[in-house]
Amino acid sequence: MNQQYPRKEFLKLTVLANAALLTKPLALLANNSVPEHPNVFFYKKGAAEYEVLRKGFNKRINKYPQVIALAKNTAGVAEAIQYATKNNLPVTIKSGGHCMEGFSCNNGGMVINLSEMKATSWGADGQLTVQPGCTLAELYNTILSKKRYLPGGSCGSVGIGGLTLGGGYGLLSRKYGLTCDSLLEVTMVDGKGAIVNSAADPELLWACRGGGNGNFGVITEMKFRTYPAPATMQSFRFRAFKTDPVRMRTIVEQWFLITQNLPPACFSALVLSARTAYILLTNAAAHTAEVAKVIQQFTRLTDKQTAGKRVPLAQALKVFYAEDQPIFFKNASAGLYKSFGDISGYIDKVLELTRSTPGMIYQINTLGGNIQNAEAEKDSAFPHRAYGYFSELQTYWETETQGNRLLQRFQAVQDIFAQNKISAQYRNYPDSNFKNWAHLYYGANYERLQQVKKKYDPDNRIQQEQSVQV
């Protein structure tokens, strides 16, 4: 089941969609504006399906497209693009709907919704072809039942489509690389409505490995390499309470030092909030002396430690699936760093704002390991492999009006990073307020991505707020 909608609404949608299969796409046939088609259903405002399909994971963002095309297959996507071209509508793409800034919806254009395109099929040598609407929970269920693994993100309701096309990091990326590093082939409907395959154009594959989110076409199938799954994983949690500014800074500095030589099967996150510092460590390999040393060092730094049981990987991953229903939040990349030295000059200001803003979280995650593979660097548009750390800023709230102060504070922190010339941000954690986003997300690869855009979408049919420009 697609988990991005409230269960009640989704059941309603399923019933309606089934009814539509038996009859017709009701809303649009009523005003005769859209042809009937088995590969794709078109919905406009007023249709119950429209309202459900329109929504994304972030309740803060509401956009209203003129038409939503619910595609059933690649041919349906091509038909949707032809319809958009004929009616001069910009096209935005939605797979799992988890874009933090709502870049998978638009106002007044067409949204191609791929949430029903979630099939998976196995090929030779453990290769897996996946449609982009498949959620990570669905994907992990499929592959782990065959004792195979594909490195993905932690949240179960994120779509494999958006995750892969922007990079994709998670608990096991240090061992297996980013999700996009395992991408072997894509099928795409380009901005002109043509169905193309990357087997005929390695440049397209290069672009889709980290630079393919809503830029030049709709990816409808992705073929991945998979790996024998690690059998188990163990998690360790460390907490420091009553953190005064000096202690907070020490914890940050020490965390960087301790994690710089983390074993590849380990991941760590440092999560800082108003009064506590929390460290997560996961390990999907043997409990070696190296891991024991890291645990000992984190223990010295904190007040309370918890060691989880070593459990089967499928069970361990589920612990990190998080919320699967839409929520109010802002979460964005807050810089990629090479070491504590990158932020030491101004981190106190960031920590002070974090400490004085309940509801705000500043988190730093380990990258590094096999993400830094030189071949992957050459073969992908993801430009940030030299950075061993990725940070994110998060704020959450309950009701529509509560967010204003938090958003101001959020921007104040982002301003500190911008003023201090942070030069790399992760495209999958975009921020609408990044001014020079093209350089921040894609670095020197932006111009090469522009050439791909020129080839596949010269008329700029495919658009989102921060899409590559011709």
Ligand X SMILES: Cc1cc2nc3c(=O)[nH]c(=O)nc-3n(C[C@H](O)[C@H](O)[C@H](O)COP(=O)(O)OP(=O)(O)OC[C@H]3O[C@@H](n4cnc5c(N)ncnc54)[C@H](O)[C@@H]3O)c2cc1C
Q: Among residues 44, 94, 118, 453, which is the contact residue for ligand X, using CB under 6 A?
A: 94
Q: Among residues 34, 47, 71, 165, which is the contact residue for ligand X, using CB under 6 A?
A: 165
> Least Å distance between CB 374 and ligand X?
21
Restricted to residues 169-188, the positions that interact with ligand X (CB under 6 A) are 169-170
> Least Å distance between CB 132 and ligand X?
4
Is residue 230 involved in binding ligand X (CB under 6 A)? Answer: no
Contacts (Cβ under 8 Å, ≥6 apart) of 384? 336, 367, 390, 424, 426, 443
Is residue 93 involved in binding ligand X (CB under 6 A)? Answer: yes
Number of H helices, E strands in the chain: 16, 19
Over the window 137 to 156, marking each residue x when it contacts ligand X by CB under 6 A and - when it does not, the resulting string is ----------------xxx-
Using only C-alpha atoms, the chain has a radius of gyration, in whole angstroms, of: 22
Pairing outcome for strands 266-272 and 360-366: antiparallel
**Amino acid (one-letter) located at 432:** S
Report phi then psi at 419, rounded to 5.
-65, -30
- How many residues touch ligand X under the rule CB under 6 A: the total is 38
Restricted to residues 258-287, the positions that interact with ligand X (CB under 6 A) are none
Instruction: Give the binding range for ligand X (CB under 6 A) out of 11-19, 88-96, 233-241, 355-363.
Output: 88-96
Beta strand residue intervals within 150-276, DSSP E: 183-190, 195-197, 217-224, 227-228, 232-240, 266-272
Is residue 326 involved in binding ligand X (CB under 6 A)? Answer: no
**C-beta closer to ligand X: residue 248 or 316:** 316
Is residue 322 involved in binding ligand X (CB under 6 A)? Answer: yes
Structure-block tokens of residue 451 = 């050439």
Q: C-alpha dihedral over 313, 314, 318, 321, to 10 degrees?
A: 90
Q: Among residues 2, 74, 95, 357, which is the contact residue for ligand X, using CB under 6 A?
A: 95
**C-beta closer to ligand X: residue 190 or 240:** 190
Pairing outcome for strands 91-94 and 110-113: parallel
Task: Match 């956009």 to its residue by tokens.
Answer: 63
Is residue 316 involved in binding ligand X (CB under 6 A)? Answer: no
Distance separating alpha carbons of residues 470 and 450, to the nearest angstrom: 6
Is residue 103 involved in binding ligand X (CB under 6 A)? Answer: yes
> Least Å distance between CB 178 and ligand X?
8
Is residue 332 involved in binding ligand X (CB under 6 A)? Answer: no
Contact present, 365 and 419 (Cβ < 8 Å): no
> Least Å distance between CB 348 and ligand X?
28
Is residue 218 involved in binding ligand X (CB under 6 A)? Answer: yes
Distance separating alpha carbons of residues 309 and 303, to the nearest angstrom: 20
Is residue 224 involved in binding ligand X (CB under 6 A)? Answer: no
**C-beta closer to ligand X: residue 283 or 463:** 463
Q: Among residues 50, 60, 89, 92, which is the contact residue for ligand X, using CB under 6 A?
A: 92
**C-beta closer to ligand X: residue 96 or 193:** 96
Q: C-alpha dihedral over 242, 247, 249, 252, to 10 degrees?
A: -80
**Residue among 93, 52, 98 nearest 71 (CA):** 93
> Least Å distance between CB 325 and ligand X?
11
Distance separating alpha carbons of residues 140 and 150, to the nearest angstrom: 8
Over the window 409 to 428, marking each residue x when it contacts ligand X by CB under 6 A and - when it does not, the resulting string is -------------------x
**C-beta closer to ligand X: residue 248 or 392:** 392
Distance separating alpha carbons of residues 70 and 350, to the nearest angstrom: 43
| Interface contacts to ligand X, rule CB under 6 A | 56-57, 92-100, 103-104, 114, 132, 153-155, 158-159, 161-163, 165-170, 212-214, 218-219, 322, 428-429, 464
